[in-house]
Structure 1
Amino acid sequence: MTAMRPLALVTGGSSGIGFELAKHFAQNGFDLVISGSSEKVENSAEEIRKLGAECFPYQADAATYEGVESLWDFVVSLNRPLDAAALNVGIGQGGAFIDNDLEDDFKLIAINITGTVHMAKRVATHMVSNGKGRILITSSISATQPTPYETVYGPSKAFGFSFAESLREELRETGVTVTALLPGATDSDFHQNAGMGSSAIGKSKKNDKTEVARQGFEALMNDVDHVVGGDEVTKQQVIENRTTPEVVKAHNHAQKARLN
């Protein structure tokens, strides 16, 4: 019976929005492959199994070609069609650009851009050959504005948003859909891990990660091109970003993102 259930892949599925997405898939009849960078992915898989789904954890370094490719090889080894994929893994980095290590900038680009393109290539090719599939790409509301003091992160998420919309149009007649999720600040360890715990953004009220994941999952299942993840304040911010001058948005973000 398990083999008859659809299979979903969630990268960065061991914590935060990714783990919540994995739970939504499990609660809606999917088996899961979840990836993570640490052994925590094994414990997360145990939690997913309690929801009645089969869950296959895989520990991989999303910053390397070998890590991404080995995860895809693991998915293929299950010998099951992949029905959905949430390309969710991503990292942030706060601080002034000239102060941050170049190696850390490159690592962020490797995970948020290169790794996303790499996995999307494998997933999309597989799904198109099967004539069906759903792809969710986690971007950020940072994609809609300049992000000083997150000067590499924001552009990496702008890439993800544009990439998702572009790929969606290319695959329009293939049976494969693409949806972008643009979360606002969320109650995960994201800002702490990015070294932004002392910033105004780090200290601000956060959106519920379970609700953000629900919004992303529902948008994916209903073939919506993109959805802003969060409350009405978050959604209004994105609406206002469409008409606010870039220099004004940049100044406003700098005040919130600068480390205290």
Structure 2
Amino acid sequence: MATNSRRFAVVSGASSGIGLELARCCAENGFDLLIVADEPEIDDAAAELSVLGHQAHAVKADLSTIEGVEKVYAACQGRPVDVLLANAGRGLGHGFLDQDFDDVRRVVDTNITGTLYLLHRIGRDMRARNEGRILITGSIAGFMPGTFQAVYNGTKAFLDSFSFALRNELKDTDVTVTCLMPGPTETEFFDRADMQDTKVGQQKKDDPAMVARLGFEAMMKGESDVVTGWKNRAQAMAAHVMPAEQLAEMHRGMAEPGSG
């Protein structure tokens, strides 16, 4: 990858959905791109984004593994990363005790372990340069106990919390951390999580382009967080005052298999 004076963005989970739209926002705003996913569609995404006039390089890597993150870091070829959009994530529906534990482990390793390692590798370089912007895709799901989605919501609770902590640790630097917290969004998430027969799986969802645009704008302004959509903002506010047991029951109504 040639080094040049254009700004450089790394976007994980960019083969579709919010990640692809975040990459599009970067391309439209003059960034060269390194986009990452563990699916072959990432090559199609790179070809699509290259049409916008800037370099878009695809890396197929499993971000649930240390080796996958190292592959991404090596693909940067020493080029300074101006913005890191840590968006890769997996969902998993059904009751915890009914899930295959290998699937559970993959959600945790993708959403938490791989994300943290990517942030650690690139974030250290940003701090050394005293320059950079980070966007972490959390979720309003992190505000409530996720009945029939317990592992996913738990990982998002971790990321929501972690992003604010990392932001505070970097407050005396010129590196900013922003947490994007969307609600249900029209992506392949619910299909892949086997949640199409649930109420939340069948309800009208937010446009991923809108979600990405608001997240990108918040990141570029250096804001701490953004909850996308007024319904999601209302739900997030309610989650701060309602008892956890009541929130868990509310989530059951949305995510219980067959509820749709």
TM-score by length of 1: 0.97
Structure 1 residue 205: Cα displacement: 0.6
Instruction: Give the Cα–Cα distance (whole angstroms) in 2 for the partners of residues 85 and 70 of structure 1.
Output: 15
Aligned twin of 2:196: 197
Aligned position for 2:231: 233
- The Cα of 1:2 is off from its aligned counterpart by 7.7
Tell whether 2:118 aligns with 1:139: no
Distance in 1 of aligned mates of 2:111 and 2:139: 11
After superposing on structure 2, the runs of 4+ consecutive aligned residues of structure 1 that deviate more than 2 Å are: none
* 8 Å CA contact retained: 2:69, 2:114: yes
CA distance in 2, matches of 1:43, 1:116: 23
Aligned length: 257
Provide the rounded CA distance (Å) in 2 between the counterparts of 1:186 and 1:39.
22
Distance 1:59 1:149 in 2: 30
* Alignment-mate amino acid for residue 96 of structure 2: F
| Alpha-carbon RMSD | 1.1
Aligned partner of 2:68 in structure 1 is 67
Match of 2:160 in 1: 161
Aligned to 2:40: 39
Per-residue CA deviation, residues 196-238 of structure 1 (Å, 9 max, x unaligned), is 0110010011000000000100110111101112x21121111
Matched residue SS, 1:177? strand
Q: What is aligned with 1:54?
A: 55
Once the 2 structures are TM-superposed, how far is the Cα of residue 99 of structure 1 from its aligned partner?
0.5
* Per-residue CA distance 1:83-115 (angstroms, 9 max, x = gap): 000000000000011100111111100000101
In 2, Cα distance between equivalents of 1:189 and 1:208: 12
Does 1:91 find its partner at 2:90? yes
1:1-39 deviation line (CA, Å, top 9, x unaligned): 981110000000111100000000111111110001111
Separation in structure 2 between the aligned mates of residue 70 and residue 179 of structure 1, nearest angstrom: 25
Unaligned runs of 5+ in 2: none
Alignment of 1:97-136 (within 5 A): 97-136=96-135
5 Å-filtered alignment, 1:211-230, equals 211-229=210-228
Structure 1 CA distance for aligned equivalents of residues 99 and 40 of structure 2: 28
**Percentage identity across paired residues of the two chains:** 39
Gaps of 5+ in 1: none
Matched, 1:27 2:32: no
TM-score after normalising by structure 2:
0.97
Q: Which residue of 2 aligns with 1:255?
A: 253
- Does the 8 Å contact 2:130/2:175 carry over to 1? yes
Determine if contact 1:2/1:54 at 8 Å carries over to the other structure.
Answer: no
Contact 1:6 1:30 in 2 (8 A): yes
1: CA distance between counterparts of 2:72 and 2:220? 24
1:96-138 CA distance string (max 9 Å, x none):
1110011111110000010111001001101011110000000
SS at match of 2:57: strand
3-state SS in 1 of match to 2:177: strand
How many Å separate the matches in 2 of 1:82 and 1:96? 39
- For residue 219 of structure 1, give the secondary structure of its aligned residue in structure 2: helix
